[in-house]
Structure 1
Amino acid sequence: MSIGPRLELRQAQSLVMTPQLRQAIKLLQFSNMEVAAFVEEELERNPLLERDERADALPERAALDQRDPLPEPRDAAEAVGGDLLTTTGASPLDADPHDQYENGPGDGVAYDNADPGRLSDRSPGANGGLSGGPEDDGTALLAEQPRSLREHLAEQLRLNIADPAERLIGAHLIALLDAAGRVPTSDEDIASALGIAPEAVAAMRARMGRFDPPGLFAQDLRGCLEAQLRELDRFDPAMAALLDNLELLARRDLKRLQAVCEVDAEDLAEMIAEIRALDPKPGAGFDDAPMQAVVPDVLMFATPKGEWVLELNPDTMPRLLVSGGFYARAVVGAGRDTRQYLAEQLASANWLVKSLHQRAQTILKVASELMRQQDGFLRHGVGHLRPLILRDIADAVEMHESTVSRVTTNKYIATPRGLFELKYFFTTAIAATAGGESHSAEAVRHRIRAMVAAETPQEILSDDAIVAALRREGVDIARRTVAKYREALRIPSSVQRKREKSMPA
């Protein structure tokens, strides 16, 4: 056997991550807002892409009781489209886009509530691009922008303080404000930085603490609450003692608080109620931007016949068209470089439209299977949520687990029980005591919350008592698991709950 260099020819298969495949994967894991932003960029970059204006002229759909009866249920794979990209099937990305985008939006799936295993078509055909809402008329831009906290305080400083030196101190305090509305820097450090006496800083801090909202510029929580109580004329020696012992209030040690404040239980309860009515972080939320409403990707509702209907939200993504006519006119008489550029843009536009269609179909397929397996939740609530993992859905829809994970991340579904992220329906399993069907961790947490909410001051459930009650209901759970779930739900311990519920109303 000789040792030396030689040539060998081998043949093997491997997956090549092409730029188009990376784009399709990226689109799949994008939220609807990210997809809309990506499409806007492509519309500006690619001259062969244009928005489908026909989406704004779609006829209004009839009410549920005025629609035609749903067709007979068919096989699940046939109902949601058997040409989806799966781990075992072929990709539809080589199909002609003109054969796929001739129907309107409203891609939907329905299955019988009595027989969740049966699936039927909700509406014919689907477009990967979804229709956008009516065009903005610009009136929203006319709304006055809210002022920031610092602008609000700077105006009060100009109106209330005339001395330029004091204004300088006030402006420095405003610049040092943190998100909660406090200035944790000591008076000595501020005075040293400004080259003045600490008493001047302390006087300005107390004076500006009465600005709107009251309680700002304090060094700590005690100073913040004290400023608000002084503004309400409710600061007395008993309240000062309570503020000096806030750690006892956090532990619900009411007996020691009564002794320290020298008050009875009724007066202490009134004092605690006044403390709870105050704002511990007066600066928080002042500069917060308006919360963005979550737009569901999938809509779900029940028909009068008892079927659950799932359909894609037509407002989550704009519809796109490939301008083949513009390409045909532009390529005539064009040079070699121009023809090559137009060919690349045409291929990119076709691929984007196909990718959007595939994304929409995949989301609908995964969501319909997920809701089919969580039919008990839809009928009876969180207590009947089934334990579910990615593999269960991936096996049912013949996709890879990573694909299901991308589909369910940052995707929302509007159900009759509320708006949920698709990830919400995946929960770990907790074994049953008698070897029966396992229980969902989310359902167990819901049960723990309900048991604690039903407590009375005379009967406070310890973690051991909760474990015993759950085991009687068939849930095999450990005490440390109950404690972990209770802490995740921000439920105090049984000792703290007993102290809190024993307080006079």
Structure 2
Amino acid sequence: MDFALNLTQEQRLAMTQEMQLSIKLLQMSSFELQEYVEKELQENPVLDIKESNVDKVEKDKLEYKEIIKNLDFDNYSHHSYDRNSGEEVSPFNFISEEKSLKEYLKDQIRDLDENHCIKTICLYIIENIDDRGYLILENEEIEEELKISKELASYCVDLIHSLEPHGIGARNLGECLKIQIEQKGMDEENIFIIIDKYLEFIAENKYNVIAKELNIDVKQAQEYGDLIKTLSPKPSRGFYTGESVRYISPDAYIKKIDNEYFIIMNDDLTPRLTINAMYKDIINNDTDKDAVSYVKEKLNSALFLIKSIQHRKSTIYRVLEKILEIQRDYFDYGENYLKPMTLKEIANSMNVHESTVSRAIRDKYIHISRGTIKIKDLFTTGMITSFNEENVSSLIIKNNIKKMIDEEDRKKPLSDQKICDLINEQGMNISRRTVAKYREEMGIKSSKGRKRF
């Protein structure tokens, strides 16, 4: 071993804070970007929101009472005044609120002809129902926690099971399905046996196995399966469970005007940020060095954010420009004219890395004449046709596969090999394995799983 000084030369990529922020913002969805900007506005006092047409907005603002005076209440006098108090009542009080699943269940309990003790126990049980509509407590736990008898706990749980939506308060999928069957007034033993032992066979369309096990006709087994498939595995479905719905906001609009397409970036996604002017005075004041240092740090952070948001916007715009060049026929004529297009192809035309394009399209949407679509869906692989040696988008092949399956005889569904042969007859050179891959990507079962007896 020896101590020595060695001089070496190497290349390394050192990512600055600005580069890291730019990459982070580029891959954010519009919703994530909104949340991030709101957080920065709260934490960075230097950042401010640039209001547009403030004077016009202030001028157009009307007080609530002025709005009410201009409304015609001739036919709705019972809405405008409370007859008991004589006070004016806001019509907005009559706007309905979203009722949660638990509120819906509690209302049903309050209407039951039961004593206060039983209703209180039922309300406690409802508070232990999760977002799926399943009860997270066993009867023994209810007995122990509430210090009640086994019979009383069982009675109250049965009351919960009698509520709507049917299947509520079950502990598992099997119990949930059984409750729904009982609510339908059916008591056929075979259905309960299938739910207990053969649910996975229904998923795999193995009705011949079920029929043999239960010594019934295959068609009868399939009818049982069809009935079970109509039941809800998640009783809370359709009810508000506390999670707000996130609506998709397109990052850009692509509009056709006079046979030319224009990309209009959606600037409403995030507030227009600016620097608060009052902090300039602090920087010019040398008396408080700590304050100046703090403001400079926050100022740099604010400028980085504004610049990174602008970079995100320009990168998405450039990607959309290249997509428009390649997919003009798609925007003109529809999905069947979508050409094969890869990240590498767009990246090379922009002289950037593939990862940049990947981040730019991640969870991003555009609004076109046919609705709002995910940018990523425009990127598809291609297949060489045997007739004219042209690339055909995998999406077109998938649509052909789906069309064939939709139109097939369900008693004799098409095999993957048969679908492969039919598509190759159209001049698209694909293999049986590719058909199986595309079918699975579309969530379509194999011919065995699609067969109807």
TM bracket (short chain): 0.7 to 0.9
2:126 to 174, 179, 188: 174
2:408 to 455, 475, 484: 455
Look up the match of 2:190: 241
Q: 1:54 is paired with a residue of what secondary structure?
A: coil
Structure 2 CA distance for partners of 1:387 and 1:188, relative to 1, 3 Å: same
- AA at the equivalent of 2:364: K
Look up the match of 1:279: 232
Contact 2:210-2:221 at 8 Å conserved across structures: no
Structure 2 CA distance for partners of 1:261 and 1:351, relative to 1, 3 Å: same
Contact 1:222-1:244 at 8 Å conserved across structures: no
Please give the alpha-carbon distance, in whole angstroms, between the structure 1 residues aligned to 2:406 and 2:283: 71
Contact 2:265-2:317 at 8 Å conserved across structures: yes
Shift of 1:400: 1.6
> Could you list the per-position Cα deviations for residues 255-304 of structure 1 after superposition, in whole angstroms to 9, with x for gaps in the alignment?
97699698997x9998777655543422234315242111011111212x
Please give the alpha-carbon distance, in whole angstroms, between the structure 1 residues aligned to 2:423 and 2:263: 35
Q: 2:261 is paired with a residue of what secondary structure?
A: strand
Please give the alpha-carbon distance, in whole angstroms, between the structure 2 residues aligned to 1:7 and 1:496: 68
Structure 2 CA distance for partners of 1:272 and 1:38, relative to 1, 3 Å: closer
> Could you list the per-position Cα deviations for residues 307-351 of structure 1 after superposition, in whole angstroms to 9, with x for gaps in the alignment?
222120121122123345x35444444425144444444444333
Look up the match of 2:23: 25
Do residues 51 (structure 1) and 4 (structure 2) align?
A: no
Q: 2:372 is paired with a residue of what secondary structure?
A: strand
Q: 2:52 is paired with a residue of what secondary structure?
A: helix
2:390 to 431, 437, 446: 437
Contact 1:55-1:319 at 8 Å conserved across structures: no
Do residues 289 (structure 1) and 243 (structure 2) align?
A: yes
Look up the match of 1:72: none
Structure 2 CA distance for partners of 1:301 and 1:459, relative to 1, 3 Å: farther
Structure 2 CA distance for partners of 1:165 and 1:306, relative to 1, 3 Å: same
- AA at the equivalent of 1:26: K
Structure 2 CA distance for partners of 1:192 and 1:52, relative to 1, 3 Å: closer
Please give the alpha-carbon distance, in whole angstroms, between the structure 1 residues aligned to 2:30 and 2:401: 35
Structure 2 CA distance for partners of 1:347 and 1:195, relative to 1, 3 Å: closer
Shift of 1:497: 2.6
Shift of 1:464: 1.2
Q: Report how many residues are paired.
A: 415
RMSD of aligned residue pairs (Cα, Å): 4.1
Do residues 402 (structure 1) and 355 (structure 2) align?
A: yes
Contact 1:51-1:319 at 8 Å conserved across structures: yes
Q: 2:254 is paired with a residue of what secondary structure?
A: strand
Structure 2 CA distance for partners of 1:480 and 1:182, relative to 1, 3 Å: same
Shift of 1:216: 1.9
Contact 1:383-1:443 at 8 Å conserved across structures: yes
Look up the match of 1:356: 309
TM-score (ref. length: structure 2): 0.75
Look up the match of 1:5: 4
Aligned 1:196-211 pairs, distance under 5 A? 198-211=150-163
Structure 2 CA distance for partners of 1:196 and 1:488, relative to 1, 3 Å: farther
2:40 to 16, 38, 42: 42
Look up the match of 2:100: 148
Q: 2:253 is paired with a residue of what secondary structure?
A: strand
Structure 1 unaligned residues grouped into runs of 5+: 60-133
Contact 1:226-1:235 at 8 Å conserved across structures: no
2:327 to 350, 353, 374: 374
Do residues 318 (structure 1) and 277 (structure 2) align?
A: no
Shift of 1:454: 1.9
Higher relative contact order (CA 8 A, sep 6+): 1
Please give the alpha-carbon distance, in whole angstroms, between the structure 1 residues aligned to 2:41 and 2:144: 57
Aligned 1:36-435 pairs, distance under 5 A? 36-54=34-52, 145-160=97-112, 162-163=114-115, 166-167=118-119, 170-171=122-123, 173-183=125-135, 198-221=150-173, 223-232=175-184, 234-237=185-188, 240-246=189-195, 247=198, 250=203, 251=205, 253=207, 277-286=230-239, 287=241, 289-303=243-257, 305-323=258-276, 326-335=278-287, 337=289, 338-433=291-386
Please give the alpha-carbon distance, in whole angstroms, between the structure 1 residues aligned to 2:451 and 2:362: 40
Structure 2 CA distance for partners of 1:482 and 1:362, relative to 1, 3 Å: same
Structure 2 CA distance for partners of 1:39 and 1:179, relative to 1, 3 Å: closer
Q: 1:355 is paired with a residue of what secondary structure?
A: helix
Q: Which moved more, 1:216-225 or 1:490-499?
A: 216-225
- AA at the equivalent of 2:252: V
- AA at the equivalent of 2:254: M
Shift of 1:458: 6.2
- Percent identity over the alignment is 29
Structure 2 unaligned residues grouped into runs of 5+: 65-89
Contact 1:180-1:283 at 8 Å conserved across structures: yes
Shift of 1:386: 2.7
Q: 1:442 is paired with a residue of what secondary structure?
A: helix
